[in-house]
Structure 1
Amino acid sequence: MCQLLGMNCNVPTDIQFSFRGFRQRSGITGEHGDGFGIGFFEGRGCRVFLDRQAACQSPVAQLLDHYAIKSLNVIAHIRKATQGEVKLENCHPFQRELWGEYWLFAHNGDLKNLPAGFGQGHYYRAVGDTDSEQAFCHLLERLRQRFTQAPDVAAMFPVVAEWAAELAQHGTFNFMLSNGRWLITHCSSKLSYLIRQAPFHTAHLLDEDVEIDFSTVTTPADRVAVIATEPLTDNEAWTPILPGQLLLFEAGEVRLSHLPEKMPAPTTMQRED
């Protein structure tokens, strides 16, 4: 399956160190070579870089080694195709507009037995042929029907939790979702996070012999949450996210958490028109 990488911060930060290790997993230390993507929020704008080539070989990915884009929220994805051909339109993260904001979504997993027409709603329709993009469109359609304008995050979070638990009944559903102000993660099988804050120390990558002393490139007020399918460093304490758990990160820390007491029984999903 695919792998995910996310970053949420209290000050604009670049993701070069983490992305350097992450992209090794697209063909050097891992087999996720069916395309990649990464999205950076900058104010109300969003830069999304996609390529059907493996991230370890892609000139687009190499560009990001030398382009230190600073962002409060970043989502990256390296793909090992399970559904959908190896095409640009099937690369994550997927981007849409809702309530005058850009939203990004990336998924690691495989959803089976989705109903006919799933992800082809009235306002949001999948362009490619992945279960991931269909799931994203289904969520945005549901949110738009539930709320006529952008709700408080505390009101929206339970709706996302309900949707995530529902879709998890169809298979593996690890995902990341952001509107540039916060980052939501859901663990179905494997996802971990760490929070870097003062006092900062040296971090060493697992996938490449590279390290950085964060005390030399940060201020004492900085706080950065990094979330990944598998830990990226071998000398830091990563916290596993529990299966079924939904977390919302804001300003580099966990602000909301939801863990169902028990997973709901599988249900028949209806198309939302």
Structure 2
Amino acid sequence: MCQLLGMNCNVPTDICFSFEGFCARGGKTDEHRDGWGIAFFEGKACRMFQDAKPSAISPIADLVKRYPIKSTNVIAHIRKATQGDIRLENCHPFRREMWGNYWVFAHNGNLIDMNSELPGFYQPIGQTDSEKAFCYLLNILRRSFADGKPTLTQLYSVLKQTTDLMAEKGVFNYLLGNGEYLFAHCSTHLHYIIRSSPFSQAHLIDEDLTVDFQALTHPTDRVAVIATTPLTDNEVWTPIQPGELIIFRDGAPIEVKS
């Protein structure tokens, strides 16, 4: 199946180190050769790069690795196709507008019979179950809050209920972001790490690359990195439990108050 990568921070940060190891899994150290994509939230804007080529050999991926774009929310994806051809329109992440903000979604898994869920304002462009699932999620949220943007508590309640129902259709690991919050849902495999002061060195699993975050950060910085499987071999990653939906803000998980 596909793999996910996300980053959520309290200050704009580049994802070059994590993306270097992640890209290697797209055809070099792993089998996810069917396209890739990455989205950077920058204020109200959302900058996206996608390619149907494997990330390990994509010139566009090389550009992203060498261009330190700073963002507080990033969502990336490498694809192993299960539904839909290897085409650009089937590359994650997917993006739509809702309540005056961009929403970005990437999925790892396989959902059966999403065609029955299609009626609504948002429609898929490609053929993947993932984009259909994204459109369905947004249609439910738009319908549930027709009067406008809900509170975080209201949003989480509907999102969690809808996610649980959709997870009955198959494997549904996903990252969903709107530039302020990053939602991470685990169906089978998803992990995260929080990097904060005192910072230390980290070494990638998929490339022989080490970075000393102490030399690159400020003591008040905090960065959450979410990945399908851990990207480093000298840090402790926290597994997200199956069925768990976590919200990240400012580089840490937050609790929703009812």
Q: Give the TM-score of the pair, scaled to structure 1.
A: 0.92
**Distance in structure 2 (CA, Å) of the matches to 1:182 and 1:152:** 12
Shift of residue 54, structure 1, vs aligned partner: 0.5
For 1:179, the aligned partner's letter is N
Unaligned 5+ runs, structure 2: none
Q: Which position in structure 2 is the counterpart of 1:85?
A: 85
Q: Which position in structure 2 is the counterpart of 1:246?
A: 245
Is residue 36–residue 91 contact of structure 2 (8 Å, CA) maintained in 1? yes
Q: How does 1:124-143 map to 2 (within 5 A)?
A: 124-143=122-141
Q: Which position in structure 2 is the counterpart of 1:209?
A: 208
Q: Which position in structure 1 is the counterpart of 2:255?
A: 256
Shift of residue 119, structure 1, vs aligned partner: 2.9
Shift of residue 158, structure 1, vs aligned partner: 1.1
Q: Secondary structure at the match of 2:211?
A: strand
Q: Which position in structure 2 is the counterpart of 1:45?
A: 45
Q: Secondary structure at the match of 2:180?
A: coil
**Distance in structure 1 (CA, Å) of the matches to 2:119 and 2:87:** 19
Q: Which position in structure 2 is the counterpart of 1:98?
A: 98
Shift of residue 86, structure 1, vs aligned partner: 0.4
**Distance in structure 1 (CA, Å) of the matches to 2:216 and 2:88:** 35
Q: How does 1:1-273 map to 2 (within 5 A)?
A: 1-116=1-116, 118-121=117-120, 123-147=121-145, 148-256=147-255
**Distance in structure 2 (CA, Å) of the matches to 1:4 and 1:69:** 19
Is residue 26–residue 55 contact of structure 1 (8 Å, CA) maintained in 2? yes
Q: Give the TM-score of the pair, scaled to structure 2.
A: 0.97
Is residue 32–residue 80 contact of structure 1 (8 Å, CA) maintained in 2? yes
Q: Deviations over 1:98-124 (max 9, x none)?
A: 0010000000000013353x2342x10
Q: Deviations over 1:64-84 (max 9, x none)?
A: 121100000000000000000
Shift of residue 152, structure 1, vs aligned partner: 1.3
Shift of residue 256, structure 1, vs aligned partner: 2.9
Distance 1:257 1:247, change over 3 A: farther
Q: Secondary structure at the match of 2:25?
A: helix
**Distance in structure 2 (CA, Å) of the matches to 1:75 and 1:257:** 22
Is residue 27–residue 54 contact of structure 2 (8 Å, CA) maintained in 1? yes
**Distance in structure 2 (CA, Å) of the matches to 1:47 and 1:73:** 11
What stretches of structure 1 move > 3 A for 4+ residues in a row?
none
Is residue 153–residue 256 contact of structure 2 (8 Å, CA) maintained in 1? no
Is residue 4–residue 76 contact of structure 1 (8 Å, CA) maintained in 2? yes
The two structures, once aligned, show a CA RMSD in angstroms of: 1.1
**Distance in structure 2 (CA, Å) of the matches to 1:257 and 1:135:** 24
Is residue 152–residue 256 contact of structure 2 (8 Å, CA) maintained in 1? no
**Distance in structure 1 (CA, Å) of the matches to 2:222 and 2:18:** 15
For 2:220, the aligned partner's letter is A
